[in-house]
Amino acid sequence: DAGVIQSPRHEVTEMGQEVTLRCKPISGHNSLFWYRQTMMRGLELLIYFNNNVPIDDSGMPEDRFSAKMPNASFSTLKIQPSEPRDSAVYFCASSLFLEYSTGASTEAFFGQGTRLTVV
């Protein structure tokens, strides 16, 4: 397996434009996470999906952010309209969730990230 694949690797856009980040999780994994990383705040969980269903989106900063997972092999994170403060590295990660009662899961594998710059 090629691991978690994210695209694009780098994105530079003007303020107000729509940005779409893409993620292909590892085949067979049933959990997918979107994170944002900045120097000031470290890694922040934005949203996570289990079996393609959004379970927790409490980390999504505001209505400008939206995420979808139409099937088990693809997810998108969209920012519309984008603002300079959205500049960060966005990571997608996937894992195999094993058991609800214990919260047991395999390790989470991260993609290489998308570095977003909004000017």
Residue numbers of the site for other proteins (CB under 8 A)?
A: 4, 31, 33, 42-45, 48, 50, 55-56, 91, 93, 95, 97, 100-105, 107-113
Check if the beta carbon of residue 13 is closer than 8 Å to that of residue 119. yes
Q: Closest separation between CB of residue 83 and other proteins, Å?
A: 24
Q: Closest separation between CB of residue 42 and other proteins, Å?
A: 4
Identify which of residues 19 and 111 has a Cβ nearer to other proteins in the complex: 111
